[in-house]
Amino acid sequence: MSTPGTVYLVGAGPGDPGLLTLRGLECLQKADLVLYDGLVNPLLLRHTRAEAERTCRAESAASGLIKQDEINDYLVAAAKAGKTVVRLKGGDPYIFGRGSEEAAALAAAGIPFEVVPGITAATAAAIYAGLSLTHREEASAVAFITGHEDPAKGVTVLDYTALASFPGTLVFYMGLSRVQNIASALMSKGKPTETPVAVICRATTPFQKTVQGTLATIANDVKQGGLHAPSLVVVGNCVRLRETVGWFENRPLLGVKLGITRPEDQVDESIARACELGAQPVVLPTIEIEHPADWGEVDGAIRRLSRFAWLVFTSGNGVRHFMGRVYELGLDARALGTCQLAVVGRETARSLAAFGLKADLVPATFRAEGLVAELGPLVAGKQVLWPTASRGRDVLIEGLTQAGAQVTAVVAYQNRDISHWPPVERDAFARGEIHYVGLSSPSIARNFARLSAAAVSVANAGSSGTGLPTKLVSISPLTTEAAREAGLEIAGEAAEPTWDGVLSEITRLHLLAEEESY
């Protein structure tokens, strides 16, 4: 009989992918199977290579909905098959998350398990909405209460007389559909009708929305506000603090879905930056980066590095693949000898710095022409090595050759077009749900044109297409030119040819559109 695997009951936090704990991250990285709740942000699955399956608890026979007993049995079976399993649960596993039921089932079956606490929805939702659940002047206690009791009990076990006199903040989980009942019950037991109330929906996500009122008005306020589950109801004087300490809902791209077209293995930094701005990142890779089919040319150039006066990089990919190969051959930065280093821009310089190397030349203009203009006078009669992509522009070779340099270009990585987008992302684009898309190179722009046309074609075949309201933002004039040649309309162009520049332009366009809508 095989040794059973371990099950990790991991709290994923309430929605913001940055709220996952370090221990939760470690568990995801070593998992063979991840079963994640419907409230878990799918971006967290980028931290695992495991098979991932979405579960959603409900007393319904609808497709895709799984009962709790079935989930328990699945966890046991997977562990008995020797798999390391992560049960990824929204918020904290033990705060209205039924994690204790799963733990009990595992213990009864003799399955080793570990519970990894998560940031529960109440604390995160309150903080992201600008509320302090405890405050020495407003509330010295806080109570977490279910707003949706087990229907099998038949009658409520909540003591609303005690809750109405509770000396602090009340937080009702899953209370949106019963907010009128909750408010009425509290008022009937003596809670003042003017007691402040906030209802927070989709907390810590780019779609967070908060409605404020009092016990007397909140049911109507919620109806007018158009809130959706999941939501929490916060009752108490702490709600008054929201106007002075609110922060999250002021982020400039809150509620914006932002398409990131960079290669799949290079989007993490862009995802993090989009989240910081309040946007919901949608990964729409258009190209993939691979090793060259044959390392022969690169290896030969590495062996001859002492002959080159300058080593030139025009992308972070070139840096990572070339320097990675140096290390794979058992060498290190000392192999570069007396080579001076030139890069096309700040992001490429940052990639070089990751290998402990500092660029000797970063042009003021972050493009090949700027690099040629500044490097050209320094390379006459000298040998220059350029690790480049399998496709791209010849501006660098032509410009430096005309300046008198002997340029050797070696293919350090392959740039290939993605053939299709995953169905979920494809359909979201075709339905017009993605507000902005950043295009960060001419090859990305050209393949985006093909992929976006294919997405709309599929949607129209199912009579669900809505056209292309998505606004496209280009990273550079060359990318803009390639996009327009491919039939795309460009709404804006980055002032600085970096992804931060793209995000800055998207932010500018969005704030301008909001001003014009007022």
pLDDT of 467 reads 46
Domain limit, last residue, from 98, 119, 140: 119
Instruction: Please tell me which residue, 17 or 367, carries the higher pLDDT value.
Output: 17
In this predicted structure, the answer to whether residue 509 has a pLDDT above a threshold of 50 is yes
How far, CA to CA in Å, does 37 sit from each of 27, 91, 204, 228, 311?
16, 10, 16, 18, 49
Mean pLDDT of 37-66: 78
pTM of the model: 0.84
Q: Which residues, in sequence order, are bridge partners of residue 406?
A: 383
Mean pLDDT of 417-428: 90
1 in a structural domain:
no
Q: Which two tokens stand for residue 170?
A: 């009340």
In this structure, the answer to whether residues 430 and 397 fall within a common structural domain is: no
| Per-residue pLDDT reduced to its tens digit, 322-364 | 999 999 999 999 999 899 999 998 889 999 999 999 999 999 8
In this structure, the answer to whether residues 265 and 310 fall within a common structural domain is: no
Domain limit, last residue, from 52, 86, 119: 119
Check residue 57 and report its DSSP letter.
Answer: B
Lowest mean pLDDT among 28-42, 279-293, 451-465: 451-465
Q: What contacts 24+ positions apart, CB below 8 Å, involve 298-303?
A: 298/322, 298/325, 298/387, 298/410, 298/411, 298/412, 299/325, 299/329, 300/410, 301/385, 301/387, 301/408, 301/410, 302/326, 302/329, 302/331, 302/335
pLDDT of 265 reads 83
Q: Which two tokens stand for residue 318?
A: 């070139």
Element (H, E) at 472: strand 471-474
Q: By CB neighbour count within 10 A (0-12 exposed, 13-18 middle, 19+ buried), where does 289 fall?
A: buried
Q: How many domains in the chain?
A: 4
Q: Which of the four pLDDT bands, split at 50, 70 and 90, describes residue 515?
A: confident
In this structure, the answer to whether residues 36 and 83 fall within a common structural domain is: yes
In this predicted structure, the answer to whether residue 464 has a pLDDT above a threshold of 70 is no
Q: Which of the four pLDDT bands, split at 50, 70 and 90, describes residue 366?
A: confident
452 in a structural domain:
yes
Query: What CATH number does the domain containing 55 carry?
Result: 3.40.1010.10
Domain limit, last residue, from 119, 140, 171: 119
pLDDT of 518 reads 64
**Domain span holding position 242:** 123-250
In this structure, the answer to whether residues 315 and 282 fall within a common structural domain is: no
Lowest mean pLDDT among 2-11, 462-471, 479-488: 462-471
Query: What CATH number does the domain containing 202 carry?
Result: 3.30.950.10
| Per-residue pLDDT reduced to its tens digit, 225-242 | 989 889 999 999 999 888
Write down the mean pLDDT value for the chain.
91
| Per-residue pLDDT reduced to its tens digit, 54-66 | 887 544 444 456 8
Per-residue buried b or exposed e for 499-515, using 16+ beta carbons within 10 Å of the residue's own CB: bebbbbbbbebbeeeee
